[in-house]
Amino acid sequence: MWSALIIAVTVLIIVFKFQDQWKDILIAIARAGNKAKIKYQGLNIDLSGGDPSVPIGQQDQTNLKQFELLKAFQSNVVTIEEKFIRDRLIEAKTTPEQAINVLINYLANSRLNITMLLINTFIYNEQIELLTFLNNQVNPSPEATFRPFFDKWKEKTKDSNYTFESFLNFLLQHRLIAQNIEGYSISILGKEYLAFLIKIGRPLSYDTSKDSDTKVNTAQ
């Protein structure tokens, strides 16, 4: 899933960055039709994408059948979403450049939401409490202040295999907290996650009344 999203975004960025060059190439190919070919230093490149031994009309029918076969195994929900996005772009009368920007934004938001959902699946309540605690601190906090959160989790689960380092590394590896020579602080992604929890109605169980600032400072 991650690979597909990264590839899609990369392709869109490349197309957008070199749109003028691509435009000239596509116009040349369109003028040449299905027989478009390039010869360079003895190398022949057929841009028609078809089998030269198959007549053009038959090749079109083959491509159509392959497309229909692909759609046959596609989820109806995906098909509906494709139509929804396509209809909205047509309705808005977007230019190709505007459509690319809209799709890049859509992919970026989808990627962020997937990240939030994955984190939300594996994170412990005590780690959320730790994030909430850090969000209410003005200065970086030393590692020792995190022990009570881990001890609370350990007492509840009675799990002796999961270490404090693993408890803390989960937050570091998912870029929810940041570390420097002064200590640890919540990251921008960590703030986004707390904002995500509020949006989906999951309570922040840490008692913020113990801190001077009780507001969740969500990322701007």
Q: Is residue 94 part of a domain?
A: no
Q: Is residue 91 part of a domain?
A: no
Residue 57 pLDDT: 57
Q: Is residue 112 part of a domain?
A: no
Q: Is residue 105 part of a domain?
A: no
73 pLDDT higher than 90: no
**Mean pLDDT along residues 41-54:** 52
Q: Is residue 195 part of a domain?
A: yes
Q: Which of these three, 55, 72, 91, is where a domain ends?
A: 55
* pTM flag (> 0.75): no
Confidence of residue 93 (pLDDT cuts 50, 70, 90): confident
Q: Are 126 and 166 in contact (CB under 8 A)?
A: no
The CB-based long-range contact list for 197-204 (8 Å cut-off, 24+ gap) reads 197/120, 197/128, 200/120, 202/120, 204/128, 204/129, 204/132
Q: What percent of the chain has pLDDT over 90?
A: 37
Q: Are strands 177-180 and 183-186 parallel, antiparallel or unpaired?
A: antiparallel
Distance CA 37, CA 47 (A): 6
Q: Is residue 96 part of a domain?
A: no
Q: Is residue 133 part of a domain?
A: yes
Residue 76 pLDDT: 79
Give the total number of structural domains in the chain. 2
**Mean pLDDT along residues 111-116:** 91
Q: Which of these three, 39, 55, 71, is where a domain ends?
A: 55
What CATH number has the domain bearing residue 167?
1.10.10
Residue 157 pLDDT: 92
Confidence of residue 61 (pLDDT cuts 50, 70, 90): low
| Helix, strand, coil % over all residues of the chain, rounded to 5 | 65, 10, 25
Give the pLDDT confidence of 133-171 residue by residue, as tens digits: 999 999 999 999 999 999 999 999 988 899 999 999 999
- Provide the token pair at 54: 């198959």
Structural domain of 183: 123-210
**Mean pLDDT along residues 179-197:** 95
